[in-house]
């Protein structure tokens, strides 16, 4: 089962001196003589995160939830169509027995359509969850990179006055300080989006996990009892069918509790 992971504060992420030194040398030093490019500092990390900040499609989760609700409704109506009925001669002459059988066949067809739709949506949702997990892993790596760029910028901000003779109109330090603040603010906003991605993923996984229990165990069991009850009209078999249906409905309802 997917689990929430606590994002480590940026200032607590371990950053090697070699990493910050490389960033200061290759990214920050050139900006001293080309300050108009300062706004593009760490831009590749900003862009990369923006592409990945997409959680599980809520519409897909809602479609599966809606289909499960329809399944619950259909199962609740099954007593109307699956109970054994005996018809006397007049009813048979009027074709009531054929009408009842036709209703049973249509019920099974409608139920199969719902089951096929639910199976299809659950497969799509499983793929979406896997994609979301992959994006979250990539975002974690990008946060670590962002921590390096912020730390390197903060160190550079402290060191800058000591290795350059500042012109009275030089506002590089001020602009770099503002850039650091912007990066921290942006990452804080992204962290909120990451938490929302985790929540969406958790809710979708919970729905999928519950449905799989029904799909793999309870639905086959219910179908078995339906088939057995069709061939037998004993009270015991009918009771088993009813219990199987109630267990299935109960599990499907649980799948919707937090979705």
Q: What tens digit of pLDDT does each residue of 133-192 get?
A: 999 999 999 999 999 999 999 999 998 877 666 554 468 889 999 999 999 999 999 999
Which tens digit of pLDDT belongs to each residue from 36-80? 899 999 999 999 999 999 989 999 999 998 988 888 888 777 666
The confidence score (pLDDT) of residue 114 equals 87
pLDDT recorded at residue 168: 47
Averaged pLDDT for residues 108-127: 89
Q: What is the structure's pLDDT at 103?
A: 56
Q: Is the pLDDT of residue 122 over 70?
A: yes
Alpha carbon 225 to its chain's center: 34
pLDDT band at 88 (very low <50, low <70, confident <90, very high): low
Of the candidates 80, 70, 68, the residue with the CA atom closest to the CA atom of residue 104: 80
**Going by C-beta distance under 8 Å and a sequence separation of 6 or more, which residues neighbour residue 181?**
none
State pLDDT tens for residues 208-221: 888 887 777 777 77
> How many other β-carbons are positioned within 10 Å of the β-carbon of residue 49?
21
Q: 71 φ, ψ to 5°? A: -65, -45
**Confidence class for position 81, pLDDT limits 50, 70, 90:** low
Q: Look at phi and psi of residue 42 and say left if phi exceeds 0, alpha if psi is from -120 to 50, else beta.
A: left
DSSP, residue by residue, 151-218: HHHHHHHHHHHHHS---TT--HHHHHHHHHHHHHHHHHHHHHHHHHHHHHHHHHHHHHHHHHHIIIII
Q: Give me the pLDDT at residue 110, please.
A: 83
pLDDT exceeds cutoff 80 at 128: yes
């Amino acid at each position: 089962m997917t689990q929430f992971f606590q994002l480590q504060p940026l200032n607590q992420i371990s950053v090697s001196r070699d990493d910050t030194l490389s960033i200061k040398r290759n990214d920050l030093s050139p900006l001293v003589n080309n300050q108009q490019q300062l706004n593009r500092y760490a831009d590749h990390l900003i862009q990369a995160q923006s592409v990945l900040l997409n959680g599980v499609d809520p519409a897909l989760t809602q479609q599966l939830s809606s289909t499960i609700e329809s399944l619950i409704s259909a199962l609740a109506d099954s007593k109307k169509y699956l109970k054994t009925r005996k018809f006397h001669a007049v009813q048979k002459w009027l074709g009531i027995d054929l009408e009842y059988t036709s209703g049973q066949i249509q019920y099974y067809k409608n139920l199969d359509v719902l089951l096929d739709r639910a199976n299809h949506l659950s497969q799509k949702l499983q793929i979406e969850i896997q994609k979301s997990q992959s994006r979250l892993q990539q975002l974690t790596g990008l946060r670590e990179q962002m921590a390096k760029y912020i730390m390197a910028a903060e160190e550079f901000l402290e060191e800058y006055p000591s290795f350059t003779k500042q012109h009275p109109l030089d506002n590089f330090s001020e602009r770099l300080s503002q850039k650091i603040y912007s990066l921290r603010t942006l990452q804080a906003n992204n962290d909120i989006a990451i938490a929302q991605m985790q929540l969406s993923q958790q809710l979708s996984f919970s729905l999928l996990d519950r449905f799989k229990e029904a799909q793999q165990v309870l639905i086959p069991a219910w179908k078995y009892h339906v088939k057995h009850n069709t061939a037998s009209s004993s009270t015991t078999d009918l009771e088993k069918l009813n219990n199987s249906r109630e267990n299935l409905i109960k599990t499907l309802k649980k799948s919707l509790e937090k979705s």
